[in-house]
Amino acid sequence: MIGRLNHIAIAVPDLDAAAAKYRDQLGARIGMQQPLPEHGVTVVFIDTGNTKVELLEPLGEGSPIAAFLEKNPGGGMHHVCFEVADLAAAIARLQQAGARVLGDGRPRTGAHGNPVVFLHPRDFDGTLIELEETGS
Ligand X SMILES: CC[C@@H](C(=O)O)C(=O)SCCNC(=O)CCNC(=O)[C@H](O)C(C)(C)COP(=O)(O)OP(=O)(O)OC[C@H]1O[C@@H](n2cnc3c(N)ncnc32)[C@H](O)[C@@H]1OP(=O)(O)O
Give the nearer residue to ligand X in terms of CB position, either 27 or 71: 71
Percentages (nearest 5) of helix, strand, coil residues in the chain: 25, 35, 40
Give the nearer residue to ligand X in terms of CB position, either 24 or 95: 95
DSSP secondary structure letters along 54-114: EEEEE-STT-TTHHHHHHSTT-EEEEEEEEES-HHHHHHHHHHTTPPBSTTSS-EE-TTSS
For residue 116, the tally of other CB atoms under 10 A from its CB is 19
| Partner from ligand X, Co ion, none binding residue 2, C-beta < 5-8 Å depending on class | none
CB of 106 to ligand X, least distance (A): 13
Q: Which of residues 68-97 bind ligand X (CB under 6 A)?
A: 68, 78-79, 81
| Footprint of ligand X (CB under 6 A) | 9, 36, 39, 41, 43, 54, 56, 64-65, 67-68, 78-79, 81, 102, 110-111, 116, 118, 121-122, 126-128, 130
